[in-house]
Every structure is written in structure tokens, then in C-alpha cells.
């Protein structure tokens, strides 16, 4: 991943609030993360979590590439539940595939033409493809227009590609890129 | 702890262990490297997921408050597992490890802009 040169901070006037909290979403995540880590809900730990949520983004925000804002949170939740459901269903399917004679499997490499362009969205799409069993994203073409996917068993590559595009790529594009 | 809870926890643990076992079997017996890559990515989703749910129920019902930090294991695994699978797959392509001959689309991995 190449470091992104365009940061939004230089283009828009930065408020004091924004300078103290350069990444609000990251701060919230860190706050929840710390409370989960210590596994207890006390005022002391809430304050300590608040300190980490301020300190870590403050010192690391120059390393973060331009983060896309979540345009449609509800669509994101819907997408998440679709992915979790697919993981559950596909795990059974793949477990059956693995346990039957291996010479009846039809593995394939497939090239997925990408509609999404942002690094962040491509990463999310590739991770989703790898998490749903039966497909693993193996490589990204140099011009970032194709994703190479290995599938454990496919009957029809065109249909598999179309399904990935419609089920995962289209929602991701809608959520982050429009 | 009631019997019903114990049965639920046991089912979660057995399910998780079962999927981890199937993933390991896949890792051991599938014919080529790329297919073997599918085994571990399975074990890390439902395999670990089942055990995490079991642990969550067990520690939350012991009367010492809710235990949620198992969720962190799932979050970190779901972030790291696809990345490592991608890198391992990329390394295998780079080393030109052989795939079984009946694999479709082998021409795709010989494109110059992929490797």
C-alpha cells in the first residue's frame, strides 16, 4: 500500500476540537477496545480508556491513510449480517467438500474485475472474500483493477464472480464510495 | 450452573473443535498448496467462533459479571486471518508453486501484471 499524499487536514481549516481528536471513529473504537481488554466497567478504567483514545490517534494519525467516512451505517450493518450468515452457511458447505474425495473437487483461479478503487474498500472486499470459506483472495494486479481469487470448488466461474460482485462488492461500493 | 447451560456450552465447544478438526484434515489431505490454504481459514472462523461463544457463556454465567473480552479474539482474528492468507497465497504465486492440473484459470496466474 503506498502512503497517500493527500490528507484532508491540509485542505480544510482544522478546528481545535478536530486537532485534539483527529480520528473520532478510531477513538471510539479504542475506548471500547480498552474496556473489553480489561473486561470491567469502572469509572477509573473509563477515564484511562479515554486517555488512550486521545493519545493513540493523536500520536499515530499521520500514519493513517485518508479514511473514508461511513456514508450509510445501516447498509454497513446489513452487509455485516449478510457476511456473518454467509460464513456460517459456507462453513458447512466447505466442511463437506473437504471430507469428500479430493479428486472430485474442481479448484479454480478466477480474476475478479474490480469496480471499487479505494485501497480501503479493496482491502475490505479482499478480506471478506477470504473470510467466506471456499474462496481466498491471493493477489491484486499491479494496476489494481483485478483481484486474483482461488476457489476450492466451483462449477461455474462466471456465476461465482457475478455472485461476489453482487453480494459483496456492490454493497461495499455503496457504503464507502457511492 | 444448570444442566441446560452445560449442554449449550458443550455443543459450542464441540462444534468449534469439530470445525477446527475439519480445517486441519483439509490442511493435511488436500492435493496442492492453494487448496490447502482453505483449511486454516475455515478453522479460524467457525472453529474459533464456536469456542469463543462457549467461553463467553461459561464465564458470563459464573456469577462474576459479564465477560466480553472473548469478542476481542474474534475481532483480531477476523482482521488478521485474511491478511495472512493473502500474503501466504501471494508468496506461493511468487514462488510459482504448482497447482493441480485440473485447476481452471491457470492462465490467469501467468499474466505479467499479476505476479
**Which residues does residue A108 pair with via DSSP β-bridges, in sequence order?**
A151, B104
Smallest CA–CA distance from B43 into chain A, residue: A91
Does A54 share its domain with A131?
no
Burial of B60 (0-12, 13-18, 19+ CB in 10 A): middle
pLDDT value of position B89 = 87
The interface predicted TM-score (ipTM) is 0.80
Residues B28-55: what's their mean pLDDT?
Answer: 84
> Which of B47, B49, B82 should we substitute to test contact with A (largest number of A Cβ atoms within 10 Å)?
B82
Say yes or no to pLDDT of A4 above 90.
no
Say yes or no to pLDDT of B76 above 90.
no
Measured between beta carbons, the chain B residues lying within 8 angstroms of A126 are 82, 86
What is the value of pTM for the model shown? 0.79
CA distance B111 to chain A (A): 9
Does A122 share its domain with A37?
no
**Order of strands, sheet of A146-151, starting from the edge strand that comes earlier in the sequence:** A108-113, A146-151, A135-140
Grade residue A176 by pLDDT with cuts at 50, 70 and 90. confident
Measured between beta carbons, the chain B residues lying within 8 angstroms of A136 are 34, 37-38, 41, 85-86, 89
Say yes or no to pLDDT of B65 above 80.
no
A103/A101 Cα distance (integer angstroms): 6
> Which of A29, A41, A108, A150 should we substitute to test contact with B (largest number of B Cβ atoms within 10 Å)?
A150
How many Cβ pairs within 8 Å bridge chains A and B? 135
Residues A93-102: what's their mean pLDDT?
Answer: 83
Measured between beta carbons, the chain B residues lying within 8 angstroms of A129 are 82
Measured between beta carbons, the chain B residues lying within 8 angstroms of A110 are 105, 108
pLDDT value of position B8 = 93
Does A33 share its domain with A84?
no
The enclosing domain of A171 has a CATH number of: 3.30.70
Element (H, E) at A79: helix A73-99
Tell me how many helices (H) and strands (E) chain A has. Answer: 7, 3
Burial of B25 (0-12, 13-18, 19+ CB in 10 A): middle
Residues 6+ apart with CB under 8 A from A159: none
Residue, of A19 and B68, whose pLDDT is higher: B68
Does A87 share its domain with A147?
yes
**β pairing state of A108-113 and A135-140:** unpaired
Return the closest-CA partner of residue A108 out of A151, A147, A160. Answer: A151
CB contact under 8 A, A36 and B29: no
Strands (E), chain A: 108-113, 135-140, 146-151
CB A36 within 8 A of CB A30: no
B72/A35 Cα distance (integer angstroms): 11
Distance linking the first and last C-alpha atoms of chain A: 22
The C-alpha cell at A133 is 470459506
Burial of A97 (0-12, 13-18, 19+ CB in 10 A): buried
Does A144 share its domain with A101?
yes
Percent of chain A residues past pLDDT 90, beyond the cut: 1
Neighbouring C-alpha atoms within 13 Å toward the C-beta of A93: 15
Does A103 share its domain with A160?
yes
Is residue A46 in a domain? yes
**Which of A37, A111, A157 is facing B69, going by the closest CB pair?**
A37
Is residue A80 in a domain? yes
What is the domain range of residue A90?
A: 73-177
Measured between beta carbons, the chain B residues lying within 8 angstroms of A94 are 38, 42
A112/A8 Cα distance (integer angstroms): 31
CB B92 within 8 A of CB B33: yes
**Which of A98, A130, A137 is facing B25, going by the closest CB pair?**
A98
Amino acid at each position: 500500500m503506498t502512503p497517500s499524499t493527500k490528507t484532508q487536514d491540509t485542505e480544510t481549516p482544522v478546528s481545535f476540537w478536530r486537532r485534539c481528536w483527529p480520528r473520532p471513529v478510531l477513538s471510539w473504537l479504542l475506548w471500547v477496545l480498552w474496556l473489553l481488554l480489561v473486561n470491567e466497567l469502572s469509572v477509573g478504567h473509563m477515564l484511562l480508556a479515554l486517555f488512550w483514545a486521545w493519545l493513540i490517534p493523536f500520536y499515530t494519525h499521520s500514519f493513517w491513510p485518508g479514511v473514508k467516512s461511513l456514508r450509510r451505517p445501516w447498509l454497513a450493518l446489513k452487509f455485516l449480517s449478510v457476511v456473518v450468515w454467509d460464513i456460517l452457511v459456507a462453513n458447512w458447505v466447505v466442511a463437506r467438500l473437504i471430507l469428500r474425495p479430493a479428486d472430485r473437487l474442481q479448484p479454480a483461479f478466477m480474476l475478479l474485475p474490480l469496480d471499487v478503487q479505494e485501497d480501503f474498500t479493496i482491502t475490505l472486499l479482499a478480506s471478506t472474500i477470504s473470510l467466506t470459506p471456499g474462496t481466498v483472495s491471493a493477489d491484486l494486479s499491479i494496476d489494481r483493477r483485478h483481484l486474483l481469487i482461488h476457489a476450492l470448488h466451483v462449477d461455474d466461474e462466471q456465476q461465482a464472480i457475478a455472485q461476489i460482485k453482487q453480494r459483496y462488492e456492490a454493497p461495499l461500493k455503496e457504503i464507502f464510495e457511492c | 450452573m444448570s444442566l441446560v447451560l452445560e449442554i449449550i456450552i458443550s455443543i459450542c465447544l464441540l462444534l468449534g473443535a469439530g470445525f477446527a478438526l475439519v480445517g486441519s484434515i483439509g490442511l493435511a489431505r488436500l492435493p496442492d498448496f492453494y487448496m490447502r490454504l482453505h483449511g486454516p481459514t475455515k478453522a479460524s472462523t467457525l472453529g474459533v467462533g464456536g469456542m469463543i461463544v462457549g467461553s463467553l457463556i461459561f464465564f458470563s454465567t459464573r456469577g462474576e459479571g459479564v465477560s466480553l473480552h472473548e469478542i476481542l479474539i474474534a475481532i483480531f482474528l477476523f482482521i488478521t486471518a485474511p491478511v495472512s492468507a493473502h500474503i501466504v497465497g501471494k508468496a506461493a504465486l511468487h514462488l510459482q508453486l504448482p497447482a493441480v492440473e485440473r485447476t481452471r484459470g491457470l492462465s490467469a496466474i501467468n499474466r505479467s501484471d499479476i505476479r
